[in-house]
Copies of this chain bind each other. A is one copy, B any other.
Amino acid sequence: MCVSNRDLFHGFSLQSVDDKGRVAIPADLRETLDANSPAKQVLITRHPTLPCLVCYDAGWAQELNDRLNNLARAAKAEGRPFDEAAERRGLRAEKATYDANGRFVIPSYERDRAGIGKWAFFVGDSDTFQIWSPEQLVAADIDDDDLKDRCRHYAAAKKVTL
């Protein structure tokens, strides 16, 4: 089960959020979405611990679901305890479609909780990608100075003051 033949999400980008709440998914990440699933859709969840969003394609959602089912079956067969309901909560997600320009509307609950305003910082993370409010990121109490630094660099390049 080594080769899943999926494209990975790589790259970083600071994108503007317009007055309608739309953001363009950076071309690099969108390319991966399109490669992994023909549906022009992106699944959006809150990160379990960090104040950011986690996004992926429909194919990855299926993969996660399959794995969970396999774990549940194995646990049951071996009589181990397995809180399937809890595990399944981690798979809940919003679904959004993106248009020909690669834009979608960040669902209001997710946008609100991630504190996303005028700008959205995209972070490719292999099987998924994250979306941060740049302001939240640089202020966050996390051990990832490089990401914060990178965010500042991208902000400066677009003349955005955080």
Q: Say which residue of B92, B147, B153 sits within 8 Å of A125 (CB atoms).
A: B92
**A66 shortest CB reach to chain B, Å:** 5
The docked-state distance in angstroms from the alpha carbon of A142 to that of B88 is 14
The docked-state distance in angstroms from the alpha carbon of A4 to that of B143 is 33
Mask, A61-96, CB within 8 Å of B = 1, is: 110011011100000000000000110110111110
In the complex, residue of chain B having the shortest beta-carbon distance to the beta carbon of A152: B109
The reply to whether A88 and B126 contact each other, CB–CB distance below 8 Å, is yes
Which chain B residues border A112 with CB–CB below 8 Å?
153
With A46-B146, A109-B150, A153-B108 known as contacts, the answer to whether A93 contacts B10 (CB < 8 A) is yes
Number of A interface residues in the complex (CB < 8 A) = 46
- How many monomers of this protein are in the complex? 2
Name the residue in A28, A92, A146 with the highest tally of chain B Cβ atoms < 10 Å from its Cβ.
A92
The docked-state distance in angstroms from the alpha carbon of A154 to that of B108 is 9
Q: Does A33 contact B (CB under 8 A)?
A: no
With A88-B126, A92-B123, A92-B124 known as contacts, the answer to whether A8 contacts B109 (CB < 8 A) is no
**A94 shortest CB reach to chain B, Å:** 6
The docked-state distance in angstroms from the alpha carbon of A68 to that of B126 is 11
List CB contacts (< 8 Å) of A110-125 with chain B.
Answer: 112, 123-125
With A2-B1, A126-B88 known as contacts, the answer to whether A11 contacts B109 (CB < 8 A) is no
Q: Does A105 contact B (CB under 8 A)?
A: no
**A141 shortest CB reach to chain B, Å:** 14
